[in-house]
Chains A and B, each alone.
Chain A
Amino acid sequence: ELKVEQNPLFLSMQEGKNYTIYCNYSTTSDRLYWYRQDPGKSLESLFVLLSNGAVKQEGRLMASLDTKARLSTLHITAAVHDLSATYFCAVDMAGNKLVFGAGTILRVKS
């Protein structure tokens, strides 16, 4: 059974600071996704990581994937208040099903 562990579960950041969210998973997978969710809303796709060593960046967010270590990271650079949300990683298992991490609640304080 695929397990996805995400940490930290809650992250309080100061504006302008950098931080990293970690996503570990237990079995081999070819795809890993990062999503953002605002309260009461659905999921917004941030990144799709398809191969070992993949790195993608969009604005202040950068995601990477190490399939050998079964680890993905979401790095936040110079946080701003607009980044406050819940972030989920999700791993694609057989049959195109996603298994989600527990989510990281990010709060950026000014």
Chain B
Amino acid sequence: NAGVTQTPKFQVLKTGQSMTLQCAQDMNHEYMSWYRQDPGMGLRLIHYSVGAGITDQGEVPNGYNVSRSTTEDFPLRLLSAAPSQTSVYFCASTQAGYTDTQYFGPGTRLTVL
């Protein structure tokens, strides 16, 4: 049981390049989400999904796309990277129930030059 895994751990991009941040969970959680963490800003919700085939926008969705074709995977795509997207990205999945807790992956540190 690996929990929530994210790849890569680190990535450097040039402005205008595209890439996909991978996220997978093996806990059969229906809900998955992507956050970014910037200094002094806390974690901000980018996109989330309540199940396969269903996605919606969070607080800061611009510049990012997501899809959810399976329960396990929730990739985040940057179509044309910008320096403002330099951040640490966390994927999370949620077990429905009393505490509604989220299980976070270890994060991807992205730098856009």
Bound pair: A and B? Answer: no
